[in-house]
């Protein structure tokens, strides 16, 4: 039985994240979407909000669960018994950063494998930052995020 971890900040999740999660769920027996509680950069949504938004987006997938974590990603992977960390690759700038993180993770926990999926073409231009910027300017979010995330963004920026 293979357990895979899909870690991220997900502030908030967008269709690119959801695409990676759905595809990873077909490759592994169990997938844990792991929401990083305390990222270095300031976040728009709290860890609880980010977790709830993702949970609602994958509630139709029986082998996926969504959790929060703190500390080293590889320590959390070990604690779960995960053999793979899943990451999406969107572009070359992703690649270099991901390579650095993957090598550090292997230095820290050689038995946890990093596995990459390439972002689907239709979502290659999506990032949480650009979604937040578009939302802050009041532009429509169709095709970028699920409806419940669009509503959550609208609520944040109306305040």
Residues in contact with 139: Cβ distance below 8 Å, sequence separation at least 6, in sequence order? none
90 has catalytic annotation: yes
CA distance 17 to 78: 23
* Secondary structure of residue 12 in the 3-state scheme: coil
Smallest gap, in angstroms, from Cβ of residue 105 to its own copies? 9
Smallest gap, in angstroms, from Cβ of residue 55 to its own copies? 24
CA distance 16 to 89: 10
128 has catalytic annotation: yes
Sites of contact with its own copies (CB under 8 A): 2, 23, 26-27, 40, 71-72, 75, 83-84, 89, 91-93, 95-96, 98-104, 106-108, 113-118, 120-122, 124-125, 127, 130, 133-134, 137-139, 143-144
156 has catalytic annotation: no
Nearer to its own copies, 10 or 88 (CB): 88
Smallest gap, in angstroms, from Cβ of residue 22 to its own copies? 11
> Are 57 and 18 a contacting pair, CB within 8 Å?
yes
**Hey, which residues are catalytic here?**
17, 41, 90, 128
């Amino acid at each position: 039985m293979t357990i895979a971890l899909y870690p991220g900040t997900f502030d908030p999740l967008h269709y690119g994240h959801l695409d990676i999660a759905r595809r990873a769920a077909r490759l592994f027996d169990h997938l844990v979407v792991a929401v990083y509680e305390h990222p270095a950069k300031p976040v728009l949504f709290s860890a609880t909000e980010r977790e709830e938004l993702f949970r609602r987006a994958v509630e139709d997938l029986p082998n996926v669960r969504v959790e929060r974590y703190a500390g080293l990603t590889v320590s959390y992977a070990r604690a779960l018994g995960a053999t793979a960390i899943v990451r999406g690759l969107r572009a070359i700038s992703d690649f270099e950063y991901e390579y650095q993180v993957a090598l550090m993770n292997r230095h820290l926990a050689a038995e946890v494998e990093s596995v990459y999926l390439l972002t689907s073409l239709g979502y290659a231009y999506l990032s949480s930052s650009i979604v937040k910027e578009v939302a802050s300017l009041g532009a429509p979010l169709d095709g970028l995020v699920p409806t419940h995330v669009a509503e959550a963004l609208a609520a944040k920026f109306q305040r």
